[in-house]
Chains A and B, each alone.
Chain A
Amino acid sequence: MKKIPFYLLLLCISFVACEKEIPFRSEVQEPKLVINSLFNADSTWAVNVSRSLDVLNPDDLQTVNDAVVRITDEASGDVIPLSFRGNGIYAADSAQPSANRSYRIDVAAPGYADVSARDAIPGAIQIVSVETTLVEVDVNVYELEVEVTFADPPGVPNYYMIDVRAFVTYEFNPGQEETFDYSVNLASTDPNLETEGRFDDIYDYILLQDQAFDGQNYTLKFAVQDYFPPGVSEQLVYRLSIVSSSQAFFDYRRTYLLYQESRDNPFAQPVQVFTNVENGFGIFAGGTRTSQDI
C-alpha cells in the first residue's frame, strides 16, 4: 500500500502526451492561379482571379490584378471581352453566357503558370407547376409547403440546384426604395437529395441528380422555413429558382458545402473540394436559372 502514491505518480508521468513540431515533408507548393466563376445564362460574365499558397506560407491569399483573362466561345471561337474591375475581378460590360454553349477560360499572369478550364451551360428546364400550401407550425410561425414539378430532359445526366431567395424592399426615404435579397432555409426529405454531411434536413439550397427520374416530370416537395405570409409582410417576395447546372457546377457546390460544414469537426472525414481548373484551383462552371415567384 505504501507504493500506491508512487504508482500514481508513475502513471501520471507515463500518460503525458508529447507534442513537438516536425518537418512537413512535402514539396513546397508554388503559388498557382485560382479561378472563381460560376456563371448563369442570365447574368454578365464575371471572373475572380486569385493565387494559392503553400499550406505553411503565412502570407495573405491575395487576388491577382495583373492577369490576362480570356473566355472563348468554343463553337464560334468568339472571345468575350472582359475588363478589370479591381480586387481580382474581371467582368464583361454586358456579354452574357448562353445556354447550350461551351466555353473555355484561359488565365495568364506574370509569375504563375497558365491555367485553363472549360465547361458548358445546359439548357433551361421547364417548370411544369408550382403548388403551395401555407402551414402555421406554431403561433405566428409559418412554413410554406411547396410542390414544384419540372420536366427532366431524357437521355443525359442532369444536375439541379434549387433555392428560394427572399427579396425585401425598404423605402428609406419617400421615393427612395432599395431591395435586398437573402437565401431562406428549405426543409426536405426528398429521397433523391444530396444529403451527405447534413446534421438535419434543412438546406440553404437543394442539390438533386436525375438518376432516379431521368426523362420524367419530377415533383420535389420542400418547405420554406420561417415564411412570412403576405398578410405579415407585404414587402417580401419569395423567388423559387431551379438552376440546371453542369456536372462541374454541381460537384463544386456539393463538395464545397460539405467542406464548409465539416472543416471544424475533428471527427469528420476531410473533404476534397472539386476543381476543374487545370494547373490551378477554383471553378469555372455554368448553369441556367429558371425562376418563379411563389
Chain B
Amino acid sequence: MIRSILATLFILAIHGTLLAQNVTLSGYVQDLDTGEPLIGASVYDVNSGKGALTNSYGFYSLTLPADSVVLRSSFVGYQSMEFRLLPEKDQTFPINLKSSLVLDAVEITASDLERIEEQTQMSAIDVSMEKVKALPVLLGEKDLLKTIQLLPGVQSGNEGASGIYVRGGGPDQNLLLLDGVPIYNASHLFGFFSVFNADAINSVKLIKGGFPARYGGRLSSVLDIRMKEGNLKEFHGEGSVGIVSAKLTLEGPIIKDKTSFIVSGRRTYLDVLARPFIALANANQQEQINGGYYFWDLNAKVNHKFSDNSRLFASGYFGRDRFFARFRDEYTLGSESYDDRFDNSLQWGNAIVALRWNKIISPKLFVNVTGTYSRYKFDVGIEQESTVTVPPDSIRQERFSAVYLSGIEDWGGKFDFDYFPSANHAIKFGGGNTYHTFTPGVNQFQVNEGSGTPIDTTFGSQSQFAHEHWLYLEDDWKLSSRLKVNLGLHASGFLVRQKWYTSLQPRAAVRFLLDERSSIKASYARMTQFLHLLTNPSIGLPTDLWVPATDQVPPQQSHQVALGYARRLPKGFQLTVEAYYKDMQNLIEYKDGSSFFGNGEDWQNKVAVGDGNSYGAEFLLERKLGKTTGWIGYTLSWTNRQFDDLNFGEVFPYRYDRRHDIGIAITHKFNEKVDIGLVWVYGTGNAVTLGQERYLGLTDLSGPSIFDGLDEVENIGSRNNYRIPSYHRLDLGVNLHKQLRKYKRTWSFGLYNAYSRQNPFFLYFAFNQSNERRLYQLALFPVIPSVSYSFKF
C-alpha cells in the first residue's frame, strides 16, 4: 500500500517538474481586518480560467504559465479582489479580503457567488456562522447543530434535541471534528443545546456523501468545524447574556501580526439564580433540599507565526454538564440522633486538545502535523450516608455509594499534505493513528454498614484499548474544461484485543459542467467505522456508550452512491438536487428487552448486529448574498433496518425514517439596525413501537401445563410499527443592532414554536377519567419567548 502511494507521488513529482516553465503563486487568503484564514476561498486566473480553493488553513497554490496573470479572489461575504501580476518565478502572494456581509442585490455579480457548479465535491454544505447567529432558536441560545438540522438530508431526533441523523444514519455515524479532533458527545442540557459556541467558530462544513479520501472513520457525515484563530491585528471581544446562559469571547494579538489568542467561555446560571429561592424554601426546615443544573464550556486557541511559511496552533475545548440533587435530614429518635445525607449527581463532558503545526515546504507543498487528545466521560452516582450518635459517645456510620461510569479517551497524531503539482491537480495525502481507550459502562459499589466487612467492588464491561490507523491519497483532477474528478483511496486498520481489521475504501466523485452555470455530479464512497454507539432511543440522557468493533461485533460499513445537479440561478439563488442510495452493514441495536441500565452484563450480549439502507432525494434552494438570504430544503427519504435477531428477521423502518422533511431558514436585513429571522420545519412523525392488541399468554412458563394460569400480553406486531404525529414548528426572531461609541450592541427577541404546536415528545397509553384506555402524547415546548443582549467591540 505505502509503496503504491510513494510510486504515485514520484510520478506526480516528475509531472510537476516537467511543467517547470510555469510559475506557482501561493500563500494564504485572509480576512483583511482580523487575519483569520478564509477556508474554501476561490483564487483563479481570469486569463487562463485556472483556479484553486484554499485548504483548511486558508492556503492556496496555483501553478500558471509564466505570463500576464489576472488573479481574482472571492469568498462569500467578502468583496472580491483582482490583482494584475507578471510573475517570472514562483512567488508567495498573500491575499487579504475585506468583509462585506451585506451587498445590495444589484451589486451581486456572478463572481461574488460561490461557484457550486465548479466544485467536484457534492453533498456538502458550508454553513455560515452569520446565519447561525441570525436565526431564531430555542431560548435564544444560538446553536450550530440546530441550524444544521434545517438542511436537507439532515434530521433532528426528538423535540429539542441537538443530535443529527444524516441520510438514514445514526447519531454515532457523524464525525464531529473541532479543529480536526473528534468530539464524542456534542450535547449540553440533555441534548437541547450543542457544545459548539458560535462565537468561537470560524467555519463549518457539512459533508453528507461523496466523502473525500481524507475523511474516514464514520459512515454518514463529516462536520468539519474550525475554530477562529484570534485576531492578529487588534483586541476585540463579544459577549451575550440570555435566558439560559452568558458568554464572553476575547481575542487579539499577543504579538501583532505574529501571535494571537482567542478564548471563549459560556456558563448557564439557572443554578445560581435558584440558590436564594432554595435557601428560602429550606429556612427553618428539618429537611434540607438542594439541587441544580449547569453547564459550562471553554474554547481557547493560541496561534503563532514563526514565519510566513510556518505556524503553530494550540487549541482546546473543555465542557461539562452537571445535574445534582442533595438531601439532608437531621432528627432524633429517643436518645439517638440521626444525620441522613443523600447525594445524587449526573455529569458528563468533553475535553479536547489539538496542537498543530503548518509548514509551507515549497510553493506547491503544504504540510500540517497534528497531535490530538479527546475525552468524553459520563458518570451518574448516588451516595447515601447515615450517622447515628448514641449517647454518651458512640457513633455509628453507614455509607452506601454507587457510581456508573462510561467514557472514551483518544490520543492521536496525524500528518496531512497538500500538493499542487499543476493547476489541474490538487493532491492530498496523509495518515495518522489514534489510540482509543473505551470504558463502556463500569459500576462501582461501596457499602460500609459500620459492622461486618465493607464492600468495595467494581464490575461491568472492562476497559478496552484499540489502535486505529489510516492512510489516504486523493487527487482533485481537472481532466478537461468540463470534466473534473476527485479520486481517492482511504485505507484503515483497527487493532482491538488481538483482532486486526483492515479496510480499503475507494472514493470517487465526478463533475461535468453542462454550461457556465450548471453541472451534474456523481459520487461513490465506501466507508468503514470501527466504533459503535449504544444508544437508548427512549430517553435523551447522555447515556450513550461508545464501544469498539470486536470479534463479536464487526465494524460498520457502508456504500453510498449519489447523483446530483447544481445550478446557479439569477439574483443570487443556487439550486442543488441530489438523489442518493446508502447501504449499511454491521449496524447495532439493543436487542428486545435490553437497556443500557443495570447489570454487569457485557454490552456485546445486549446488542444485535444487522443491516440498513437509506435512499431518497434532496432539494436545496439557497441564497447567500443580498438582504434576504437563507434556504428552503426538502428531503424525501426512506430508511430501513434488517436484523436477523430483531423483528423476527423482518425489515422494519428506522426510528427516524422520515418520508418528508422540510426546513426553511430565512433572514432579512432591513438596514444596519434591524434584521429578522424565520425558521419553519416540518417532518413526518418518527416511527415508534406501540402495542396494537392484547391477548392472554401463559403465566408460568416453567410450569408443566396451561392450567397454571394466563397473563396479559400486548402484541406490538412489529418494531417501529406506529407513526407519531408529524412535527412542525415556526420560529421567529428579530435582532436590533446599534453602534454605540465603544461597542455595538444587539437585542435579540425570539419566539420558538410561534404558533405553539404541541409536537409529540413521546406517546403512551393511559386511562382517562372515564376509565377508558387512550393514547396520550407529551409535548415539551409550547410557544417560548426569548430575549438576549449581546455586545461586540
Which of A117-125, A191-199, A230-238 lines the interface with chain B? A191-199
Q: Is A253 an interface residue (CB 8 A)?
A: yes
Partner of A163, one of B590, B605, B702: B702
Q: Is A129 an interface residue (CB 8 A)?
A: no
Cβ contacts under 8 Å, B771 to chain A: 58
User: In the complex, what's the smallest C-beta–C-beta distance from A89 to chain B, in angstroms?
Assistant: 7
Which of A105-113, A212-220, A264-272 lines the interface with chain B? A264-272
Cβ contacts under 8 Å, B695 to chain A: 32, 34, 50-53, 61, 281-282
Q: Is A84 an interface residue (CB 8 A)?
A: no
Which of B51-59, B70-78, B460-468, B717-725 lines the interface with chain A? B717-725
* Beta-carbon contact of A282 and B139 below 8 Å: no
C-alpha spacing A58/B592, complex, angstroms: 27
Cβ contacts under 8 Å, B707 to chain A: 46, 89
Which of A35-43, A66-74, A143-151, A152-160 lines the interface with chain B? A35-43
Cβ contacts under 8 Å, B779 to chain A: 17-20
Type the 1/0 row for B128-142, where 1 means its CB is closer than 8 Å to any CB of A.
Answer: 000000000001000
Q: Is A261 an interface residue (CB 8 A)?
A: yes
Q: Is B92 an interface residue (CB 8 A)?
A: no
Q: Which residues of B (366-409) have their CB < 8 Å from a CB of A?
A: none
* Beta-carbon contact of A36 and B778 below 8 Å: no
C-alpha spacing A134/B216, complex, angstroms: 57
* Beta-carbon contact of B599 and A22 below 8 Å: no
C-alpha spacing A187/B761, complex, angstroms: 40
**Given A17-B780, A56-B773, A200-B599: A261 and B715 interface contact (C-beta under 8 Å):** no
C-alpha spacing A19/B596, complex, angstroms: 27
Which of B349-357, B523-531, B686-694 lines the interface with chain A? B686-694
**Given A14-B781, A199-B599, A281-B695: A55 and B773 interface contact (C-beta under 8 Å):** yes
Cβ contacts under 8 Å, B593 to chain A: 196-197, 258-259, 261-262, 268-269, 271
User: In the complex, what's the smallest C-beta–C-beta distance from B656 to chain A, in angstroms?
Assistant: 16
Report the nearest A residue to B541, measured CB to CB.
Answer: A267
Q: How many B residues are at the interface, by size bracket?
A: 35 or more
Cβ contacts under 8 Å, B690 to chain A: 26, 55
Q: Is B595 an interface residue (CB 8 A)?
A: yes
* Beta-carbon contact of A267 and B696 below 8 Å: no
Q: Is A23 an interface residue (CB 8 A)?
A: yes
Partner of B693, one of A16, A53, A63: A53
C-alpha spacing A24/B784, complex, angstroms: 28
**Given A37-B706, A40-B704, A255-B592: A52 and B694 interface contact (C-beta under 8 Å):** yes
Report the nearest A residue to B723, measured CB to CB.
Answer: A25
Q: Which residues of A (243-263) have their CB < 8 Å from a CB of B?
A: 253, 255-263
C-alpha spacing A47/B776, complex, angstroms: 37
User: In the complex, what's the smallest C-beta–C-beta distance from A30 to chain B, in angstroms?
Assistant: 9
Partner of B594, one of A17, A260, A269: A269
Partner of A52, one of B595, B648, B715: B715
* Beta-carbon contact of A282 and B594 below 8 Å: no
Greatest chain B CB density within 10 A among A22, A37, A260 is at: A22
* Beta-carbon contact of A268 and B776 below 8 Å: no
**Given A18-B778, A196-B605: A183 and B596 interface contact (C-beta under 8 Å):** no
Q: Which residues of A (275-292) have their CB < 8 Å from a CB of B?
A: 275, 281-283
* Beta-carbon contact of B705 and A43 below 8 Å: yes
Cβ contacts under 8 Å, B704 to chain A: 40, 43
C-alpha spacing A50/B711, complex, angstroms: 11
User: In the complex, what's the smallest C-beta–C-beta distance from A53 to chain B, in angstroms?
Assistant: 5
Greatest chain B CB density within 10 A among A50, A55, A61, A283 is at: A55
* Beta-carbon contact of A14 and B599 below 8 Å: no
Cβ contacts under 8 Å, B715 to chain A: 52, 272-273, 275, 281
C-alpha spacing A50/B694, complex, angstroms: 11
C-alpha spacing A204/B711, complex, angstroms: 17
* Beta-carbon contact of B693 and A256 below 8 Å: no
C-alpha spacing A273/B694, complex, angstroms: 12
Q: Is B684 an interface residue (CB 8 A)?
A: no
C-alpha spacing A21/B764, complex, angstroms: 10
**Given A34-B696, A40-B704, A265-B595: A259 and B713 interface contact (C-beta under 8 Å):** yes
C-alpha spacing A85/B436, complex, angstroms: 65
* Beta-carbon contact of B693 and A199 below 8 Å: no
Q: Is A4 an interface residue (CB 8 A)?
A: yes
Report the nearest A residue to B543, measured CB to CB.
Answer: A267
**Given A47-B706, A197-B594, A272-B648: A20 and B758 interface contact (C-beta under 8 Å):** yes
Cβ contacts under 8 Å, A172 to chain B: none
Partner of A36, one of B539, B697, B702, B723: B697
Report the nearest A residue to B597, measured CB to CB.
Answer: A267
C-alpha spacing A4/B761, complex, angstroms: 29
Cβ contacts under 8 Å, A19 to chain B: 776-779
Which of A5-13, A75-83, A93-101, A221-229 lines the interface with chain B? A5-13
C-alpha spacing A32/B695, complex, angstroms: 9
**Given A58-B773, A89-B706: A269 and B599 interface contact (C-beta under 8 Å):** no
Q: Is A48 an interface residue (CB 8 A)?
A: yes
Q: Is A142 an interface residue (CB 8 A)?
A: no
Q: Is B601 an interface residue (CB 8 A)?
A: yes
* Beta-carbon contact of A197 and B648 below 8 Å: no
Q: Is B500 an interface residue (CB 8 A)?
A: no
Cβ contacts under 8 Å, B785 to chain A: 10
User: In the complex, what's the smallest C-beta–C-beta distance from A273 to chain B, in angstroms?
Assistant: 5
Q: Which residues of A (152-185) have their CB < 8 Å from a CB of B?
A: 163, 165, 183
User: In the complex, what's the smallest C-beta–C-beta distance from B607 to chain A, in angstroms?
Assistant: 10
C-alpha spacing A18/B756, complex, angstroms: 11
Q: Is B782 an interface residue (CB 8 A)?
A: yes
Type the 1/0 row for B505-536, where 1 means its CB is closer than 8 Å to any CB of A.
Answer: 00000000000000000000000000000001
Cβ contacts under 8 Å, B780 to chain A: 15, 17-18
* Beta-carbon contact of B697 and A22 below 8 Å: no
C-alpha spacing A197/B607, complex, angstroms: 10
Cβ contacts under 8 Å, B712 to chain A: 61
Q: Is A29 an interface residue (CB 8 A)?
A: yes
Q: Is A54 an interface residue (CB 8 A)?
A: yes
* Beta-carbon contact of B595 and A269 below 8 Å: yes
* Beta-carbon contact of B776 and A38 below 8 Å: no
* Beta-carbon contact of B705 and A46 below 8 Å: yes
**Given A21-B775, A34-B695, A256-B698: A273 and B713 interface contact (C-beta under 8 Å):** yes
Report the nearest B residue to A33, measured CB to CB.
Answer: B695
* Beta-carbon contact of A20 and B706 below 8 Å: no
Partner of A26, one of B243, B599, B698, B722: B722
* Beta-carbon contact of A22 and B777 below 8 Å: yes
Cβ contacts under 8 Å, B539 to chain A: 267
Report the nearest B residue to A183, measured CB to CB.
Answer: B702
* Beta-carbon contact of A36 and B706 below 8 Å: yes
* Beta-carbon contact of A183 and B693 below 8 Å: no
C-alpha spacing A231/B698, complex, angstroms: 36
**Given A18-B782, A19-B777, A272-B648: A267 and B596 interface contact (C-beta under 8 Å):** yes
Q: List 19 A-B contacts (CB under 8 A).
A: A8-B274, A18-B758, A18-B779, A22-B725, A36-B696, A36-B706, A43-B705, A50-B695, A55-B693, A58-B772, A197-B592, A197-B593, A200-B599, A262-B594, A267-B536, A269-B689, A273-B697, A273-B713, A283-B697
Q: Which residues of B line the A interface, CB within 8 A?
A: 139, 243, 270, 273-274, 277, 536, 538-539, 589-599, 601, 605-606, 647-648, 689-698, 700-707, 710-719, 722-723, 725, 758, 760-761, 763, 765, 768, 771-782, 784-785
**Besides the known contacts A22-B763, A183-B702, 17 further A-B residue pairs in the complex with CB atoms under 8 A apart:** A10-B243, A16-B782, A19-B777, A19-B778, A34-B695, A36-B696, A46-B705, A54-B694, A55-B692, A57-B694, A57-B773, A165-B702, A196-B605, A197-B594, A262-B595, A269-B594, A281-B715
Enumerate the 10 nearest inter-chain pairs by beta-carbon distance, A residue then B residue, closest first.
Answer: A197-B593, A258-B593, A52-B695, A262-B593, A183-B702, A267-B595, A268-B595, A271-B592, A24-B775, A270-B689
